[in-house]
């Protein structure tokens, strides 16, 4: 089925206040059952076997995180830091592991385990030899960026990691999460170093930052008042990410896909931000195409980004919602990875699954009973393999500059200009919402 012929149900039914809330609650209830419920793929192992000899050829192993969830907060972003009205109440749960799974032998290797800590957001280096991830050691309160060298860690296919070579990259009283390698050698991530709180909730905000490969020269790329999430390089070298913003409009409807240069310049919408509804998150390119795969999390977003695996074709422009094609048969999948337009990997509660372009699905891994008993779930599966390095966009940012330029090419050309005649626009209204340095109620009042 082509993107243009996709039924409208991929977007419209999830839009709007009450309906979005109902669907969110329904999807959460479905996920509580634990096992994936999408249509299975014939004989067990058939789909994965075909993929390993096709789009996944050369991929022997995956890395992924297993961790417990915040048990009391369903917001997609409430998974680090503490609550403003009670610093002892944390937005994270204790218990986490970093795993390596051999897809051909099914051997499971523990790279890192911390019964009181947290591991999240693993990402492979371009040469496939290092893992970048966020780690909160047990007894500490902040996630920081770490790097694990697989080559020098003493790993083999039949044992746990022996003295793994871990390198801490960032530190300080802030949370650094959702990191990705950049083609220029740097690292992009989101961080609470912006020192602000959600304008309509009780948890901290994290926005785009970058640093050098060794964690030095940290600086903000975004001045967003609300969350940025899951940055990832596009094939043209720009960063694709989720931006939540509600300047002079609903606080629960606009968390869509944006793009920016790796130096933070040229920020603009990539898909969405005009039509309300859906949290578009965990977006990544589909190799060899201009398309991306993402989790379309219903309404105002579900805990840990659970949503519908969706493919977006940007050829129709940022407002062409008919160019979003639903893949999965439910809204309980997270962290999708595309090997092709017909081969997807994702996490679903305590399982890892593969799926084809029609939504035909197969569970390829389930956490061991001890992990499930500890309420761990699967997150962020990535192939352990080299990947193409995107082109480098030369920086235009100058540290000495204290101002920037906002460019408007033609005031008569916009996304909502029906009935406006040329020459009628005489003035521009510029609105600014100030950051919330602290927030004790979780409401929208000043």
Asked if residues 175 and 148 have their Cβ atoms less than 8 Å apart, the reply is no
What pLDDT score does 446 carry? 60
Structure tokens at 389: 């390095």
Separation of alpha carbons 23 and 13, rounded Å: 9
Q: What is the mean pLDDT of the chain?
A: 88
The confidence score (pLDDT) of residue 137 equals 97
Task: Give 325-371 as a DSSP string.
Answer: EE-SSSS-BEEEEEEETTEEEEEETTEEEEE-TT--EEEEEE--HHH
Q: How far is Cα of residue 242 from the mean position of the Cα atoms in its chain?
A: 8
* 3-383 CATH choice from 2.30.130.40, 2.120.10.30, 2.60.120.10, 3.30.450.20: 2.120.10.30
Percent of the chain with pLDDT over 90: 75
Tell whether the torsion through CA atoms of 235, 237, 243 and 245 is positive or negative: negative
Cβ contact 99:153 at 8 Å: no
Q: Tell me the DSSP string of 161-193.
A: -SS-EEEE---SSS-EEEEEE-TTS-EEEEEGG
- The residue whose two tokens read 């569970």 is 363
3-state secondary structure 49-97: HHHHCCCCCCCCEEEEEEECCCCCCCCCCCCCCEECCEEEEECCCCCEE
Those residues whose C-beta lies under 8 Å from the C-beta of residue 305, and which sit 6 or more positions away, are 76, 230, 279, 281, 282, 295, 297, 334, 335
Question: How would you classify residue 35: left for phi > 0, otherwise alpha for psi between -120 and 50, otherwise beta?
Answer: beta
Predicted pLDDT at 290: 96
- Give 122-171 pLDDT, tens digit per residue: 999 999 999 999 999 999 999 999 999 998 655 443 334 444 589 999 99
Bridge partner residues of 333 (DSSP)? 307
Q: Where exactly are the structural domains of the chain?
A: 3-383
Instruction: Give the tens place of pLDDT for each residue, 221-269.
Output: 999 999 999 999 999 999 999 999 988 888 999 999 999 999 999 999 9
Q: What is the largest CA-CA distance in the chain?
A: 72
């Amino acid at each position: 089925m082509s993107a243009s012929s996709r039924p409208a149900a991929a977007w419209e039914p999830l839009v709007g206040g009450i309906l979005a809330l109902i669907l969110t609650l329904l999807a959460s209830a479905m996920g509580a059952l634990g096992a994936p419920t999408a249509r299975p793929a014939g004989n067990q192992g058939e789909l994965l076997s075909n993929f390993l000899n096709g789009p996944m050829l050369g991929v022997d192993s995956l890395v992924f995180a297993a961790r417990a969830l915040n048990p009391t907060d369903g917001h997609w972003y409430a998974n680090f830091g503490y609550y403003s009205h009670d610093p002892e109440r944390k937005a994270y749960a204790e218990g986490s592991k970093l795993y390596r799974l051999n897809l051909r032998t099914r051997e499971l290797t523990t790279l890192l385990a911390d019964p009181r800590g947290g591991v999240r957001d693993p990402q492979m280096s371009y040469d496939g030899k290092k893992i970048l991830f966020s780690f909160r050691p047990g007894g500490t309160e902040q996630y920081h960026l770490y790097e694990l060298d697989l080559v020098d860690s003493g790993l083999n296919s039949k044992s746990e990691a022996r003295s793994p070579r871990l390198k801490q990259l960032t530190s300080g009283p802030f949370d650094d999460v959702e990191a990705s390698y950049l083609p220029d050698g740097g690292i992009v991530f989101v961080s609470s170093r912006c020192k602000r709180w959600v304008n309509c909730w009780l948890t901290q905000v994290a926005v785009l930052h970058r640093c050098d490969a060794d964690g030095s020269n940290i600086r903000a790329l975004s001045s967003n008042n609300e969350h940025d999430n899951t940055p990832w390089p596009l094939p043209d070298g720009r960063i694709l990410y989720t931006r939540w913003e509600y300047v002079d409009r609903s606080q629960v409807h606009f968390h869509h896909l944006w793009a920016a240069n790796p130096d933070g310049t040229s920020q603009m919408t990539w898909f969405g931000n005009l039509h309300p509804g859906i949290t578009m998150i965990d977006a990544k390119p589909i190799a060899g195409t201009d398309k991306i795969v993402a989790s379309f999390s219903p309404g105002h977003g579900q805990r840990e980004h659970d949503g519908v695996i969706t493919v977006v074709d940007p050829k129709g422009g940022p407002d062409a919602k008919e160019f979003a094609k639903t893949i999965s048969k439910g809204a309980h999948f997270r962290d999708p990875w595309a090997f092709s337009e017909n081969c997807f990997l994702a996490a679903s509660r305590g399982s890892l699954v593969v799926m084809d372009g029609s939504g035909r699905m197969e569970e390829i891994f389930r956490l061991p009973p001890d992990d499930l008993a500890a309420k761990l779930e699967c997150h962020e599966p990535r192939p352990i393999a080299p990947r193409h390095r995107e082109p480098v966009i030369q920086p235009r940012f100058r540290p000495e500059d204290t101002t920037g330029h906002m460019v408007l090419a033609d005031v008569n050309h916009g996304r909502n200009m029906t009935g406006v005649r040329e020459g009628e626009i005489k003035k521009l209204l510029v609105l600014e919402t100030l950051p919330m340095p602290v927030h004790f109620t979780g409401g929208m009042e000043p």
